Amino acid sequence: MSTASPGAERPASTDRRPHMDAFGAGLLIGFNVLLGLNQALVKLVNAGFSPVFQAGLRSACAFLPVLLYAIWANKRLSIRDGTLGPGLMNGILFSGEFCLLFLALDLTSVSRVSLFFYTMPLWVAVGAHFLLPGERLSGRKALGLAIAFGGIALALLSGDGSGTGMGTQQWLGDALALLASLCWAGIALLARTTRLADTSPEMNLLYQLAVSAVVVIPLAFWLGDTIRSPTPAILGMFAFQVLVIVAIGFVVWFWILSVYPATSMASFSLLTPVFGVFFGWLIFDDALTPPFFAALVLVGAGLVLVNRS
């Protein structure tokens, strides 16, 4: 795939801004609200489609809108620039990430998945310590990791507040959410340690969507249980995911990245698990017990220490 020659990419913006302003902050908060809502929507749509089939179908449906945007924006799209191998691995990790995430949402609560899945920066920090020169763990980052991992342990041991203890299904869901977070961290590290670092974010996303659609949809049919009980409401929520969250949402995010400093954007990512927990409580009445709330605070504090520049 190649729609433009190297160097022909349209300038990201003629209005590059040195710091985050109110408009950019508003867009980022809105994007993080969508990401937090996404966990709840996935759990709702799992009633209509199996988790694995939903993950593959969403990638297949989102591929064309993202491709059309990339072509319109004259982004450099090429598989002959040395990115094909790592791009395919990128797609495999993406496939694993969302299969595990969607399965986790079938087994445990949205709030718990939001907490465990968004521990990704912790795993990136550990991996970067060994793989990226100049990013070794400092004392502050090591302290942040210790605090955050303490929060994870507290959340794992605290149960769901029902008083009945942790069931096997919830343990499995929590573990799958953590494994999904590890896959996400692998994608981030792959993008920084291979030729993918030189390609556009849109090309990275297209690799992920294309490979996951090709891999995950056949896997869903092999596993069976592809179609459950889809209703017009479920189909509407699925369409909202594809068009608003994946296609439009990430296109807006790419634009923000092209205009504002990446360091100014990083702190906003800490809002996503908070919104995920909020929507889990609002839509599914997820229990927010004192131990779980304490775990959320510990993980958030650890993430702040790890990501603070």
**Residue 294 near residue 137 (C-beta atoms within 8 A):** no
pTM for this predicted structure = 0.88
- Report helix, strand or coil for 49: strand
Residue 104 pLDDT more than 90?
yes
* Mean pLDDT confidence for 218-237: 94
Q: Are the C-beta atoms of residues 273 and 177 closer than 8 Å to each other?
A: no
Give the DSSP letter of residue 227: B
CB of 295 closer than 8 Å to CB of 152: yes
Q: Hey, what's the torsion of the CAs at 254, 265, 98, 74, to 10 degrees?
A: 10
Q: What are phi and psi of 2, to 5 degrees?
A: -155, 115
Residue 225: band (very low, low, confident or very high) from pLDDT cuts 50, 70, 90: confident
Instruction: Answer for the pair 204, 5: CB distance below 8 angstroms, yes or no.
Output: no
Mean pLDDT score across all residues of the chain: 87
| Predicted pLDDT at 4 | 42
**Per-residue confidence (pLDDT) for residue 269, from 0 to 100:** 75
What span, in angstroms and rounded, lies between the C-alpha atoms of 223 and 241?
A: 23
- Of 18-22, 129-133, 146-150, which range is least confident? 18-22
Query: Which of these, 115, 29, 61, lies nearest to 241 by C-alpha position?
Result: 61
pLDDT in tens, 257-271: 767 776 566 667 778
- Total residues found in the chain within this entry: 309
Q: Which amino acid is at 40?
A: A
Place of tokens 């902050």: 25
State how far the Cα of 255 lies from the Cα of 257, in Å rounded to an integer. 5
Question: What distances in angstroms separate CA 272 from CA 85, 116, 117, 162, 269, one per listed residue?
Answer: 31, 12, 10, 25, 6
**Alpha carbon distance 107, 175 (integer Å):** 10
